[in-house]
Every structure is written in C-alpha cells, then in structure tokens.
Amino acid sequence: MNKKLLIIIPVVIVIVGIFVLLGIKRSSSVIKLVNNRLPAHSLLNQARQFEAKGELLEAKSIYQKLVNDFTESPEVANWQKKAEDLNIQLLFSSAITPKSIVYQIKPGDTLNKIAREHKTTPELIMKSNNISDSLIIPGRKIKIWNVPFTLLVDKSQNIMLLKSDEEVVKTYIVSTGKNNCTPVGVFKIVNKLMNPTWFKAGAVVPAESPENVLGTRWMGFDLAGYGIHGTTEPKELGKQVTQGCVRLNNSDVEELYNIIPTGTEVTIVE
C-alpha cells in the first residue's frame, strides 16, 4: 500500500503542476488582451510623458489611439485637436516621419527646384529644416515631406480638412458662401499670393487696406474668381457669409499657405 502511495503522490504532484502552469499561461494571455486596451487615463499619461520628452510622433500616435478606442468619451474632440496640433508641430520640425524623406542637396539645387520635384513648398522645406533664407549648401541633408496633401471643404459644417492620404492632418474652421453659393466639385490650387490686392467691381483695394477682405493670403482655384483666402472679419468664421470663396483666419491661411503647393486638389461638398 505504501508503495502505491509513493507512486501515486508524485503523479498527482506532476498533474497539479501542469494545471498550475496552464493556469498561469491562461492568466498571462488574459493580461495581454487587457493590455491591448489600456484604460484611457493610462494612455493619456503615456502620451503626456512622450510629449514631455519631445517624442512627438509617439505622443501623436497615442492621442490617435485614444480617439479610435474611446469614441464615446466626452474628451474625444480634445484628443483629436491635440493629435492635430502635434501633426503640425511634426510637419514644421526636423523630425523624420513615415511621410517624409531625407534628401541630400545637390550642386545646382534651389529651394524652388527641390520643392517642385517633391510637390511641396519652399516655405515648408525652410520651416522644417530651420533654414532662414534661400541660400542652401550642397551636401547638406534635409527633411522633405513626400506625400501629397488634399483639402476637403464641408459647407454644411463650415470646416476644411487638410489631409495626407486618408489621414486628417488638421481641421480648420472656415466661412463659405452666403445663400450656399460656394461651388461644389473638385478644384485645384493654381496660384498663390502673399498680401493680395483685392480687385473688386469698380475698385482696386490694396493689401494694406482694412477694407481688403482677402486678408494676408490668397490661393486661387482653377475656377476664375474663387479660392481660399484670409479675412478681416474673424468673428464671422463658421458661417456662410462670403461671395463664394473659402475664408480662414489669417494665422490659419498663412499656415496652410506654407504647407500646400500649387496643384493641390480641393474638394468642396454640400
């Protein structure tokens, strides 16, 4: 009998040990599943820590995860705005992102030439590489944004989305045409002007005039007379009050002017 017990007891111990190990593995799997969906406050703390360390791409990714994973949260709009603010910081910084490349300046290059070849703007190249004038040095490596931008204007909400591929880079509040007169369709930016003169019926209004409704920038469509511009009436943003153009705050239109090149596609929907 004692011999049988001596044989049975080790077997029982082995079996119990196997079940314990299986339980631990199962618990680990559960923990991993839970960790794939961390609480919002934990993710938010991670995002803030990354941001404090200057790791903007990582911080932006977590804010976007918060937006995607917690769609019912009252904080979603704030998280989305934070992600968009980080998008602009990344765009104007020297940080290399999945949508940018490192380009080595060649003899004979100019900022305009590099910008044309990569469908970007000289202003964006300068801002993202801390270049203060048009003089560039062959051999220097610079960051170039390498993915085209598009714009989507939603007249019903009076917002404009700056997009890269399908990602929303930033949302702008705009004004569109009164009586719904802003044209609907797909257009292209064909010209860009700093401090534009306003040629209105029967008069020419210079850029410095407080009556110049175009504000500080103009980006014209391939539809004569229509485009995107600044404003002298920022309190009217978010309303249908223009003669048909898309109107932004001057600081926003200046930012956008630096980002999008001629040829950028603009889609306007009801």
pLDDT exceeds cutoff 70 at 5 = no
Residue 37 phi, psi dihedral angles, 5° rounding: -130, 70
For residues 265 and 153, the answer to whether their CB atoms sit within 8 Å is no
pLDDT for 82-121, tens place per residue? 999 999 999 999 999 999 999 999 999 999 999 999 999 9
Q: Kindly give, in sequence order, each residue whose CB lies less than 8 Å from that of residue 223, ignoring residues fewer than 6 positions away.
A: 183, 187
Amino acid identity of residue 86, one-letter, is L
Specify whether 181 is catalytic: no
Task: Name the architecture of domain 149-269.
Answer: Beta Barrel (2.40)
90 in Cβ contact with 57 (< 8 Å): yes
Specify the CATH class of 100-145 in words.
alpha beta
pLDDT in tens, 174-193: 999 999 999 999 999 999 99
The SS3 assignment for 194 reads strand
- Domain residue limits, the chain: 40-91, 100-145, 149-269
245 is catalytic: yes
Which of 41, 118, 181, 229 does the annotation list as catalytic? 229
The pTM is what?
0.84
3-state class of 229 per DSSP?
A: strand
Tokens 């360390």 belong to which residue? 53
Residues 123-177: tens digit of each pLDDT: 999 999 999 988 899 999 999 999 999 999 999 999 999 999 989 999 999 999 9
